[in-house]
Structure 1
Amino acid sequence: MTNREEEILNLIKQNPLISQNELADILNITRSSVGVHIGNLIKKGYISGRGYVLNQENFVCIIGGTNVDIVGFSNDNLRLHDSNPGNIKFSLGGVGRNIGENLARLDVDTKLISVIGSDVYGQKVVDEGRIIGLDFDHTLKLDGETTSVYMSVLNSDGDMQVAISSMDIYDKMTIEYIKTKRAVIESSRICVIDTNIPKDVIEYVVTNFKNTKFFLDTVSTTKAMKVKDIIHKFHTIKPNRIEAEILSGIKINSMEDVEKASEYFLKGGVKRVFISLGEEGVYYNNGTEKGIFTPKKVKMVNANGAGDAFVAGLVYSELNELELQDTLKFASACSALTVEHKDTINPNMSLENINKKLEEN
């Protein structure tokens, strides 16, 4: 945004009904020049068409991974170097996309900035997003590239025997592309970042875009290292015990150590810390309230996706200004509903069903 565009945008914020002639008089420029600047602001996404409706909707932006999961299930003992009878399941995944789908099912306007190929998988991702209401308009679509794929083979007991991940396409998300999405990121109420995307892109976003709250999903212990030096830039983080240890540099052997790690993050500038402790629950600390939240146990069918659902619950709660204890209850209900279904994303995820979960507790 140019300095003149910023001046005009600030005047429009003060008076959305201001005319171009009034803008021209205040800034001592011609009305035609104002029209050009207004056109640029519309193209860049800062305002919407006539009436100068400011694009400060109650929406969430996610910058992260989108991939396709292909899982092979063997009917009998797996025989290597041979063809095994079984079933093959195709599903959509990626941490950022998963969080986005959960939010969309919770009726949150969500825009996903990711990267996909021009293949059938990429088209499938976009088509499914359209059905559930997840906005892929700002996702980078690359001709001749293959959408990220994770392929695994499970034995008859359901244990993974071998897997191949093809995720090089994430490296094609560049700072130059992210610069074109400044308006989307800065206009969002919350921007969720997962560490599938390149380190330099994450650093650029949290350092240069300051008008939104950044939430972090660490994804894995290895990928979490990308944000070790910029962890203080995030408003809310949700690492597990090992990731918290890596990011804080504090060896965690006890609950006192968990608290020390959370205090480290808060002193650095993080506003809310949620550390996943597995079956023990979630340790929380926002500088005022801290402790362990232990959700009610549920019958687990598939633990995959529980963390993504929890983050979606945190985002929803922040959007709706829920108190910390209500936030923990809501996010945990999202996780509980998720693990009760065989799919990574429970197709029954909805505000109605989350409220039913909350009433059970």
Structure 2
Amino acid sequence: MTNREQEILEILKQNPLISQNELADQLGITRSSAAVHITNLMKKGHILGKGYIVRDGAYVCVIGGSNIDIQGVPNNTLIFRDSNIGSVKSTLGGVGRNIAENMVKLGLKTKLISVIGDDLYGQKILEEARQIGLDMQDTLVLKGEQTSTYLSILDETKDMAVAISHMDICDRMTVEFIKSKKHIIENAEFCVIDTNLSPDVLKYILNTHKEQKFLLDTVSTAKAMKIKEVIGLCHTIKPNLIEAQSLSGIEIKDEKDMLSAAAYFHGLGVSNVFISMGKDGVFYSDGKVSGMLKPPTVKVVSATGAGDAFLAGIALGYAQGEDIKSATLMAMAASFIALEHEDTINPYMSEELLLEKLKEINHVK
């Protein structure tokens, strides 16, 4: 936003019904110049409509996958290559969508750019977004297409044993479509992206919006490799141990190796690195400050949504201006809340609950 546009926006906030002639007189410019600035502000998303309705407040933009999760849990020890007696349930999912929902529950105004079909699953995703206050008006809805489906099987400890992801529709989010969302991406406080997007879209977003701060969820080892060439354009990355090894080419056995891997990513341009190790904790580094946080014992009901909640916790920390260690603790607290519920997203997730959990973590430490 230019200085003149910022000046006009402040005037409109005070007087949304001001005429272009009055605006021009107040600024000492021509009416036609005022009209051009108004048009530019509307294109950039700062003005929402007639009467100069000004966009209210900062928001975070998430660009990633949305799908339906189908999850199976055995009653006893999981036996491969056999039929296991257990339970099956379906919930809304997708890494980007899950992160976005967690962020909304944590009090962050969030816009989700995703792609879904116009089937019953897609309608369910949109309806849920409306109910919780997640803005999906910029999501691509494709007629006659099937919304992505993610099938996971948990073991007897409620940890994921295997999963199948049918997310071909994500490839329908093209560079041309993303170009039309330029103003949404540019005006966000920061953006979260996941590697369910196609390599072309990921590269375009990062190469085009180099001034924006991007938080990357690597999703899986295979999908993480899509972004290997441009990962240095991300401000923040959150790989797990295996993904960090694959992306850096460094075998990680101890904290010294963690520092080497982090140094590799910092050398490429990444500002903040978080390497998650499940029950063993998380390593964090911003190039100056680094450390390993080991979690207290937590009763795990389901580990499926812990990573999504973790990144949402990082986003909350960034939105509140926390340093990297504090943001890591907030992220860890969010992941604990996720672990304590059978649903991928704990319906009780909130900033208040996160702060309570944070106190527990600090007390144990």
CA distance in 1, matches of 2:359, 2:42: 45
For 2:62, the aligned partner's letter is I
Matched with 1:183 is 183
Instruction: Within 5 Å, give how 1:266-285 maps onto structure 2.
Output: 266-285=266-285
Q: List per-residue Cα deviations over 1:258-278 (Å, max 9, x = no partner).
A: 111101111221111111123
Matched with 1:341 is 341
* Bigger mean CA offset, 47-56 vs 296-305: 47-56
Matched with 2:214 is 214
CA distance in 2, matches of 1:299, 1:78: 23
For 1:121, the aligned partner's letter is Y
Say whether the 8 Å CA contact 1:102–1:312 is kept in structure 2. yes
Matched with 2:6 is 13
Say whether the 8 Å CA contact 1:46–1:54 is kept in structure 2. yes
What displacement does 1:303 show?
0.8
Measured on the aligned residues, the alpha-carbon RMSD in Å equals 3.1
Distance 1:26 1:78, change over 3 A: same
For 1:253, the aligned partner's letter is K
CA distance in 1, matches of 2:260, 2:210: 28
CA distance in 2, matches of 1:71, 1:215: 27
What displacement does 1:279 show?
2.5
Q: List per-residue Cα deviations over 1:40-87 (Å, max 9, x = no partner).
A: 6425524334675765832110000100012345679989899x9764
Say whether the 8 Å CA contact 1:272–1:285 is kept in structure 2. yes
Structure 1 unpaired stretches of 5+: 1-5
Distance 1:280 1:140, change over 3 A: same
SS in 2 for 1:284: strand
SS in 2 for 1:196: coil
CA distance in 2, matches of 1:256, 1:56: 46
SS in 2 for 1:171: helix
Distance 1:155 1:260, change over 3 A: closer
SS in 1 for 2:11: coil
Say whether the 8 Å CA contact 1:215–1:236 is kept in structure 2. yes
TM-score by length of 1: 0.87
CA distance in 2, matches of 1:154, 1:355: 29
For 2:64, the aligned partner's letter is G
Matched with 1:247 is 247
Matched with 2:305 is 305
Say whether the 8 Å CA contact 2:309–2:338 is kept in structure 1. yes
For 2:358, the aligned partner's letter is L
CA distance in 2, matches of 1:161, 1:298: 20
Say whether the 8 Å CA contact 1:75–1:155 is kept in structure 2. no
Say whether the 8 Å CA contact 2:158–2:303 is kept in structure 1. no
Matched with 1:357 is 357
Matched with 1:224 is 224
Distance 1:75 1:240, change over 3 A: closer
Distance 1:79 1:62, change over 3 A: closer
**Pair 1:66-2:55 in alignment:** no
Say whether the 8 Å CA contact 2:210–2:233 is kept in structure 1. no
Matched with 2:97 is 97
SS in 2 for 1:342: coil
Query: Percent of aligned pairs with the same residue?
Result: 51
Say whether the 8 Å CA contact 2:100–2:112 is kept in structure 1. yes
Say whether the 8 Å CA contact 2:333–2:354 is kept in structure 1. yes
CA distance in 2, matches of 1:326, 1:161: 32
Q: List per-residue Cα deviations over 1:206-244 (Å, max 9, x = no partner).
A: 111134210000000000001111111111111111111
Say whether the 8 Å CA contact 2:196–2:219 is kept in structure 1. yes
Distance 1:210 1:53, change over 3 A: farther
Say whether the 8 Å CA contact 1:17–1:51 is kept in structure 2. no
Q: List per-residue Cα deviations over 1:292-318 (Å, max 9, x = no partner).
A: 111222111111111111100001000
SS in 2 for 1:303: coil
For 2:113, the aligned partner's letter is I
Structure 2 unpaired stretches of 5+: 13-18
Instruction: Within 5 Å, give how 1:1-361 maps onto structure 2.
Output: 10-15=3-8, 16-17=10-11, 20-21=20-21, 31-32=31-32, 34-35=34-35, 38-39=38-39, 41-49=41-49, 55=55, 57-72=57-72, 87-152=87-152, 164-361=164-361
Q: List per-residue Cα deviations over 1:140-199 (Å, max 9, x = no partner).
A: 000010000123567889787876432110000001110111111111111000000101
Alignment length (residue pairs): 353
For 1:341, the aligned partner's letter is H
* Bigger mean CA offset, 164-173 vs 31-40: 31-40
Say whether the 8 Å CA contact 2:279–2:295 is kept in structure 1. no
